[in-house]
């Protein structure tokens, strides 16, 4: 089968503020057949402990993504000429039932994406989605290295007695052997905790933890060299919770923690993943009601585009800054 190298609808054909509102105005496809990578939405917020609203995240991220042009001026990447990429819509979630939604995500990612050997790029949605995505990804790739950028460890055992929620997926993924803890890393953790040992669980399991304080006042480019060494050529999943950033940069999210990363560091993290064997990515926890003009969604859309630019096989036409 010959590959279709889909291009975002050009602003010269129709202004960027018009239709359609797929991710970057890429074609819409029913599933990932024939695609190398695909964007998909997970519109849910019923795994959230704090402010809700992430159910509208995919819609706003897609709307703001229409402003992004096809070439990455900072790295020279032009992914659309070497990868076949489209938007395959949203998983069919059940807003009244968290467990069924988690099952639906696993099935959607498996049957619509992974079964076609396509790399999934998720638009969240609350972070509960990480668990079913990893379940689907691991079916094909086996346990993966996890690069987890977040303000929170998401390693709670239970929340109000429940094992599935947006604060537990990393713990569950470990228990289900979906991740390789010794080659995984958490970046940006900070804030307040239910106990003084909240971040220690992961460390004890072998996960490297880089708290936000260790990122203050510095470039994260050196850290990413270490990360590339840590994961090697193992299959790796990149999960980016937008609340890893300081609320000044990402006000549209549910659980604000002060003293976070900045967008430059976010770009350094993702650009630093170039060369890693990425088998899946996400950007989650964008909550539009708290940022109606879409600054946070704009940031998330750009981070997703940057992830696309570092996928295995992405073309580089220009030269990096």
Alpha-carbon distance of 149 to 108, in angstroms, equals 24
Spatial contact of 246 and 297, defined as CB atoms under 8 Å apart = no
Which of 3, 4, 14, 206 lies at the binding interface for a second copy (CB under 8 A)? 14
Question: Which strands sit side by side in the sheet containing 145-149, from one edge to the other?
Answer: 85-90, 37-42, 119-124, 278-284, 236-241, 145-149, 185-189, 208-211
Give the C-alpha distances (Å, rounded to integers) separating 145 from 68, 235, 317.
29, 6, 29
Alpha-carbon distance of 57 to 296, in angstroms, equals 10
Q: Quick one: tokens of 298? A: 């704009």
7 binds a second copy (CB under 8 A): no
Residues 181-220 touching a second copy, rule: CB under 8 A, are: 189-199, 211-214, 216-219
Alpha-carbon distance of 175 to 187, in angstroms, equals 21
Which of 34, 103, 140, 164 lies at the binding interface for a second copy (CB under 8 A)? 164
Residues 90-109 touching a second copy, rule: CB under 8 A, are: 90, 92-98
Total interface residues for a second copy by CB under 8 A: 102
Q: Quick one: tokens of 122? A: 């998720």
Shortest Å distance, C-beta 96 to a second copy = 4
34 binds a second copy (CB under 8 A): no
Q: Residue 195 or residue 204: which is nearer to a second copy going by CB? A: 195
Q: Residue 52 or residue 277: which is nearer to a second copy going by CB? A: 52
82 binds a second copy (CB under 8 A): no
How many other β-carbons are positioned within 10 Å of the β-carbon of residue 226?
Answer: 13
Give the C-alpha distances (Å, rounded to integers) separating 196 from 110, 115, 193.
38, 42, 6
47 binds a second copy (CB under 8 A): yes
Shortest Å distance, C-beta 100 to a second copy = 8
Residues 128-147 touching a second copy, rule: CB under 8 A, are: none
Question: Which residues pair with residue 119 across a beta bridge?
Answer: 37
87 is in an annotated binding site: no
Alpha-carbon distance of 43 to 152, in angstroms, equals 21
241 is in an annotated binding site: yes
Alpha-carbon distance of 279 to 114, in angstroms, equals 10
Alpha-carbon distance of 131 to 170, in angstroms, equals 7
154 is in an annotated binding site: yes
115 is in an annotated binding site: no
166 is in an annotated binding site: no
152 is in an annotated binding site: yes
Type and span of the H or E element at 90: strand 85-90
Q: Residue 34 or residue 78: which is nearer to a second copy going by CB? A: 78
Q: CA-based diameter of the chain, in Å?
A: 56
157 binds a second copy (CB under 8 A): no
Which of 107, 251, 277, 312 lies at the binding interface for a second copy (CB under 8 A)? 251
Which of 5, 34, 59, 115 lies at the binding interface for a second copy (CB under 8 A)? 59
Residues 276-315 touching a second copy, rule: CB under 8 A, are: 289-290, 292-293, 295, 298-299, 302, 305
Point out the annotated binding site for Mn(2+): 127, 150, 152, 154, 241, 243
């Amino acid at each position: 089968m010959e590959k279709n190298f889909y291009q975002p609808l050009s602003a010269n054909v129709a202004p960027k503020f018009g239709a359609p509102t797929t991710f970057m105005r890429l074609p819409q496809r029913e599933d990932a057949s024939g695609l190398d990578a695909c964007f998909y939405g997970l519109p849910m917020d019923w795994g959230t402990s704090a402010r809700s609203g992430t159910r509208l995240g995919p819609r706003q991220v897609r709307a703001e993504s229409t402003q992004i042009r096809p070439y990455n001026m900072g790295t020279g990447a032009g992914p659309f000429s070497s990868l076949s990429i489209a938007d395959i819509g949203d998983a069919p979630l059940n807003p009244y039932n968290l467990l069924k939604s988690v099952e639906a995500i696993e099935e959607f990612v498996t049957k619509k994406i992974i079964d076609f050997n396509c790399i999934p790029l998720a638009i969240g949605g609350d972070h509960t989605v990480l668990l079913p995505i990893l379940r689907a990804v691991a079916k094909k790739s086996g346990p993966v290295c996890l690069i987890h950028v977040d303000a929170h460890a998401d390693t709670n055992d239970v929340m109000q007695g429940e094992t599935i929620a947006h604060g537990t997926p990393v713990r569950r993924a470990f228990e289900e052997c979906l991740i390789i803890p010794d080659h995984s890393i958490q970046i940006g953790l900070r804030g307040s905790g239910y106990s003084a040992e909240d971040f220690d669980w992961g460390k004890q399991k072998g996960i490297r933890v880089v708290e936000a304080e260790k990122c203050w006042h510095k470039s994260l480019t050196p850290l990413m060299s270490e990360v590339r060494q840590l994961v090697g050529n193992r299959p790796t999943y990149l999960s980016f919770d937008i609340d890893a950033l300081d609320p000044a940069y990402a006000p549209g999210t549910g659980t604000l923690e002060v003293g976070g990363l900045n967008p430059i560091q976010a770009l350094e993290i993702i650009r630093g993943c170039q060369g890693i064997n990425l088998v899946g990515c996400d950007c989650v926890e964008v909550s539009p009601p708290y940022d109606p003009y879409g600054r946070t969604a704009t940031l998330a859309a750009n981070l997703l585009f940057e992830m696309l630019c570092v996928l295995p096989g992405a073309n580089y036409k220009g030269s990096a800054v």
